Chain A
Amino acid sequence: MENKLTKNIFFSLGLKIFSSLKDHEELTLSLVGEETNYLRFNKAKVRQSLHLIQGNINLNFTSQEKTCSWSIPFQQDLEQTLEKMTTALGHLRTEAASLPKDPFLVKTQNNGPYEKDHEGTLPPDDELVHSILYPGKDLDLVGIYSGGRNIRANMNSKGQKQWFSTTNFLVDFSLYDAVQNAVKGYYGGQLWDQESYNQKISQAKEQLELMKRPRKKVSRGSYRTYFAPAAVSEILTMMSWGGVSAASFKKSESALGPLANNKKSLSPKFSLLEDFKLGLCPPFNEYGELSNDTIPLIENGQLKNLLTNSKTAKEYDLKSNGANQSEGLRSPLIKTGGLKKENILKTLGTGLYLSNLHYLNWSDMRGGRMTGMTRFACFWVEDGKIVAPIEDLRFDESLYNFWGEQLVGLTNFSETFPEPGTYSQRGVGGVNVPGMIVENFSFTL
């Protein structure tokens, strides 16, 4: 099927609609689009499959210091799409007029061009099901394949044009045994290589073997704990929710408040930044503002920046660093340390080895304390040797402890996890993080 959702068509639709603007009116168009195959599987069998083409164009309208936006579906019929845009523009004039002036309005301006198409190779359509499921044919493989083209673009009436597309895939899976022990795996990227995928499945299978020993019930208490990169990435997602946002900090709803106010400190071993060089997402936000390649957030335990968008900057008299509307992390990286892979168990000594975590939430956001569960391959370790998988534990601990004095060290390697989220549309972005060892980590149930 020929998808009309192309760069030329989007930009030409824009020029047409801009020509109908009146004096003092400004318009920014943002496009979110995808053509994706989704294959959902359970027990290495297809549960559901879906082919999806969708695009939405958001019209952000400004006139006389009033602003509002209207989003419409991109239809493959361009005349219809243009007609919908024209109708939307009419509605926007009425809606904006009904609102008061926005004193913190972000002015429409040309932030400069951006254009990048990350091409990729996907498994061929007619072999898709076989490619994904055959390597797991004798296994209890469960999860989802998503692959296709993902688009983010915008243009505005001041002449700005930005385009980002990426053709990529992600197999987000887990492997279970007969008694429901499980391990988690990912295979994602731009160039599908069947052999690499097969290896990922084999590795998961080997790890699952370790889970065969009887589970140990670990009682609540504090333990020296190793968090594998996937577990660290779960903790890091909490920073996008009442963490690194400048607006959250300003209204006293940030877990980094105690750090920003010098009431608490973090370990000099801990550094966190936004790193758009990872190439996982566009460096522009909804307004088309381009971020620097990197934005240091915490450097050697010291707070350097909070994510600040232009609206927040205007309201609180701060400097914007091109953050998105929610001031969440888009492409974060935690700097690696010196702990070598072969020394992880030895350095851990006796304690817990956690591969993944699940369902995190703040138990005291303003104090920086969070709770969550262990999940998938988690083990009890004694004298540097894996003894047994554990029954799931609940933790409840402050980031000022585990990224503070109790942080023993970070690994000298890191892993990249592409954004697996697909609410409404397939996400872009991802994280790059090392593993870490923490002392006296609290488990409460």
Chain B
Amino acid sequence: MNHEQLKKTLRSLPSKGADWIGLKKITSKIKFHSVKNGLPLSNKIYQDEGVQIEVLKNGQFAYSSTQDTSPNGIKLAYEKALFLAESSSKYPIFPFTRETRPQFKNQPSPHDFNQTTSGEIHDVLSLSCDSIKKEKGLIHSEGYAALKETETYHIGLGDEEFYSSKNTIDFSLKAIAQEGTEVQTRTWGNTLQAGPEYFQKELFKKEATRIAKEARELSFAEQCPSEKMDLLLMPDQMILQIHESIGHPLELDRILGDERNYAGQSFVKLSDFGNYQYGSKALNVTFDPTVEKEVASYKMDDTGHMATKEFIIKEGKLLRGLGSLESQLRSNVPGVACGRVSSWNRPPIDRMANLNLEPGEGNFEEMVSSMERGVIMATNKSWSIDDYRNKFQFGCEYAKLVENGRITKTLRNPNYRGISTPFWHSLKEVGSLPTREIFGTAYCGKGEPNQAIEVGHASSVCLFNGIEVFGGV
């Protein structure tokens, strides 16, 4: 059905006492390509389309999702949702009102996506594998790319209407090197709003060669020492640190207890917003849906809330939570426009979207020279944190030892561990804008039923004092 037919169908539904009826149609196509040692491993295209009917009745939201987008399919789905809302209202978690579904409107202008064949993307990944295999000691190479096109059409019972479309990509290259019995892996990848034009042969060959050389270097490197010292994290590890020990603990639905059976709770309490000192003065964190190319930039969340940039933490002080209008109403804590669905088949829940660490003043060379003894770590390879988001342990692919302000050697199997609040209080300096990079992940997992969603993080390099660092087996 086209947009006009959907509007007509929705608006002809009998209200039967519902305070709000919303309809989201989400259409997506993802092309997955993977290459192993230059040869095709798999090429899959995943096309999906469905609608979600959202009903608010007796203060309860309920959902029904279907791929049957005919008028009859939508009517049946509506009846299911209405029935669920009615039967839930005997056990209400909170009496929700229409104020959690604001008015929204834009002028839909569907656009054409740039197309590529599987072969074109395969060629870029295959060439990358060739560049990796050219380096001495390299035993294995892999490339992966997912190119996604999404269109969302959201309408409400009144004259609410909103259309959006986006292109996102998720990709990685992997190089494995062996020297004697020592085997080491180095990767490069990202998740961004971009289309097939991103897959430039020159860029991929250059990065493939770099990771191959670094994997080789690691296969000769010394084991990372185990001691307390300074730690300089590169942006591609900072994003994981921000994600796990700032993003998740500040989700209001976690603090409200919705996630206690799955993802967990939080060490942060509702009363902490507005006064808790989360970290040192150098820590400034924003929810920023406006950054070009960052994967979770958007104009409106999936509940009809227009998205704006907001400070979450300013000079180390906690100001705002990552919570949708529903969570804000339940908790009385200020939040952001972050009620998001992974697709048409899941209800909206509180998500991170783009959560960025704002740049400081630090210059990379000066930050290194200020380190008496420390380690620089890059690229996450292992992550684990408790359900309250306190005790974490993270591992990286690649590290450099710094002695008396100078980089002296490469280290393999670098890891560090800590506890969120003391760790952020040990943040000494944040790098300036030139050291900032934009990253993202396509697979932040949360929710019951489970939802994997894209989130973006941007960060400069960051220097921490006195961190527990250790090596491999």
Using CB atoms and an 8 Å cutoff, list the residues of chain A in contact with chain B: 1, 37-38, 40-56, 58, 67-77, 84, 88, 91, 94-100, 102-104, 125-126, 128-130, 133, 140, 142-144, 146, 172-174, 176, 180, 182, 184, 251-253, 325, 358-369, 371-373, 375, 392, 394, 396, 398, 421-424, 426, 444-445
Complex partner residue of A104 from B39, B185, B349, CB under 8 angstroms: B39
CB closest residue in chain A, given B64: A51
Given contacts A48-B349, A50-B63, could you give 11 more A-B pairs where the C-beta distance is less than 8 Å?
A41-B93, A95-B43, A98-B119, A172-B261, A176-B257, A176-B260, A360-B384, A366-B183, A392-B388, A424-B345, A445-B391
Top 7 A-B pairs ranked by shortest CB distance? Answer: A98-B119, A367-B473, A98-B117, A422-B449, A144-B448, A143-B261, A46-B88
Cβ-defined contact, B44 with A129, below 8 A: no
Q: CA of A251 to CA of B132 in the docked complex: distance in angstroms?
A: 15
User: Is there a chain A Cβ closer than 8 Å to B241's Cβ?
Assistant: no
User: Is there a chain A Cβ closer than 8 Å to B111's Cβ?
Assistant: no
Cβ-defined contact, A68 with B384, below 8 A: no
Q: Which residues of chain A are within 8 angstroms of B386 by Cβ–Cβ distance?
A: 358-359, 373, 375, 392, 394
User: Is there a chain A Cβ closer than 8 Å to B347's Cβ?
Assistant: yes
Q: Which residues of chain A are within 8 angstroms of B183 by Cβ–Cβ distance?
A: 252, 366
User: Is there a chain A Cβ closer than 8 Å to B415's Cβ?
Assistant: yes
Cβ-defined contact, A73 with B48, below 8 A: yes
Q: Which residues of chain A are within 8 angstroms of B92 by Cβ–Cβ distance?
A: 45-46
User: Is there a chain A Cβ closer than 8 Å to B68's Cβ?
Assistant: yes
User: Is there a chain A Cβ closer than 8 Å to B50's Cβ?
Assistant: yes
Q: Which of B36-74 contact A (CB under 8 A)?
A: 39-40, 42-50, 60-70, 73
Q: Which residues of chain B are within 8 angstroms of A182 by Cβ–Cβ distance?
A: 260
Query: How far is the CB of A337 from the nearest CB of chain B, in Å?
Result: 27
Cβ-defined contact, A95 with B48, below 8 A: no
User: Is there a chain A Cβ closer than 8 Å to B120's Cβ?
Assistant: yes
Cβ-defined contact, A398 with B473, below 8 A: yes
User: Is there a chain A Cβ closer than 8 Å to B450's Cβ?
Assistant: yes
Cβ-defined contact, A51 with B42, below 8 A: no
Q: Which residues of chain B are within 8 angstroms of A46 by Cβ–Cβ distance?
A: 60, 88, 91-93
A-B pairs with beta carbons under 8 Å apart, 15 shown: A1-B80, A49-B85, A50-B63, A52-B65, A71-B48, A73-B47, A75-B67, A98-B120, A99-B119, A99-B122, A104-B39, A359-B384, A361-B395, A369-B472, A423-B452
Cβ-defined contact, B88 with A49, below 8 A: yes
Q: CA of A104 to CA of B34 in the docked complex: distance in angstroms?
A: 14
Q: CA of A76 to CA of B49 in the docked complex: distance in angstroms?
A: 13
User: Is there a chain A Cβ closer than 8 Å to B406's Cβ?
Assistant: no
CB closest residue in chain B, given A66: B40
Cβ-defined contact, A372 with B384, below 8 A: yes
Query: How far is the CB of A261 from the nearest CB of chain B, in Å?
Result: 9
User: Is there a chain A Cβ closer than 8 Å to B413's Cβ?
Assistant: yes
Complex partner residue of A144 from B84, B122, B261, B393, CB under 8 angstroms: B261
Q: CA of A74 to CA of B48 in the docked complex: distance in angstroms?
A: 9
Q: Which residues of chain B are within 8 angstroms of A144 by Cβ–Cβ distance?
A: 261-262, 448-449
Cβ-defined contact, A133 with B176, below 8 A: no
Cβ-defined contact, A48 with B417, below 8 A: no
CB < 8 Å A-B pair total = 257
Majority secondary structure, B binding face: mixed
Cβ-defined contact, A371 with B449, below 8 A: no
Q: CA of A142 to CA of B39 in the docked complex: distance in angstroms?
A: 47
Query: How far is the CB of A74 from the nearest CB of chain B, in Å?
Result: 6
Q: Which of B1-57 contact A (CB under 8 A)?
A: 39-40, 42-50
Cβ-defined contact, A53 with B66, below 8 A: yes
Q: CA of A67 to CA of B249 in the docked complex: distance in angstroms?
A: 44
Give per-residue flags for B322-359: 1 if the beta carbon is below 8 A from chain A beta carbons, else 0: 00000000000000000000110111010000000000
Q: Which residues of chain A are within 8 angstroms of B84 by Cβ–Cβ distance?
A: 37, 49-51
Complex partner residue of B122 from A43, A100, A126, A444, CB under 8 angstroms: A100
Cβ-defined contact, A95 with B118, below 8 A: yes
Cβ-defined contact, B91 with A50, below 8 A: no
Cβ-defined contact, A70 with B45, below 8 A: yes
Query: How far is the CB of A246 from the nearest CB of chain B, in Å?
Result: 13
Cβ-defined contact, A363 with B415, below 8 A: yes
Complex partner residue of A68 from B43, B88, B388, CB under 8 angstroms: B43
User: Is there a chain A Cβ closer than 8 Å to B383's Cβ?
Assistant: yes
Q: Which residues of chain B are within 8 angstroms of A67 by Cβ–Cβ distance?
A: 40, 43
Q: Which residues of chain A are within 8 angstroms of B140 by Cβ–Cβ distance?
A: 251-252
Query: How far is the CB of B240 from the nearest CB of chain A, in Å?
Result: 11
User: Is there a chain A Cβ closer than 8 Å to B451's Cβ?
Assistant: yes
Q: Which residues of chain B are within 8 angstroms of A52 by Cβ–Cβ distance?
A: 64-66, 345
Q: Which residues of chain B are within 8 angstroms of A130 by Cβ–Cβ distance?
A: 90-91
Q: CA of A60 to CA of B261 in the docked complex: distance in angstroms?
A: 37
Complex partner residue of A129 from B90, B117, B118, B419, CB under 8 angstroms: B90
Query: How far is the CB of B159 from the nearest CB of chain A, in Å?
Result: 26
Given that A172-B448, A182-B260 are contacting pairs, would A394 and B43 also be in contact in the complex, using a CB cutoff of 8 Å? no
Give per-residue flags for B368-406: 1 if the beta carbon is below 8 A from chain A beta carbons, else 0: 000000000000001111111011010100000000000
CB closest residue in chain A, given B62: A49
Q: Which residues of chain A are within 8 angstroms of B290 by Cβ–Cβ distance?
A: none
User: Is there a chain A Cβ closer than 8 Å to B139's Cβ?
Assistant: yes
Q: Which residues of chain A are within 8 angstroms of B445 by Cβ–Cβ distance?
A: 423
User: Is there a chain A Cβ closer than 8 Å to B258's Cβ?
Assistant: yes
Given that A53-B66, A99-B40, A422-B448 are contacting pairs, would A47 and B93 also be in contact in the complex, using a CB cutoff of 8 Å? yes
Cβ-defined contact, A49 with B384, below 8 A: no
User: Is there a chain A Cβ closer than 8 Å to B193's Cβ?
Assistant: no
Complex partner residue of B385 from A126, A253, A359, CB under 8 angstroms: A359
Q: Which residues of chain A are within 8 angstroms of B39 by Cβ–Cβ distance?
A: 100, 102-104
Q: Which residues of chain A are within 8 angstroms of B77 by Cβ–Cβ distance?
A: 51
CB closest residue in chain B, given A75: B67
Cβ-defined contact, B50 with A54, below 8 A: yes
Complex partner residue of B91 from A69, A133, A253, A371, CB under 8 angstroms: A133
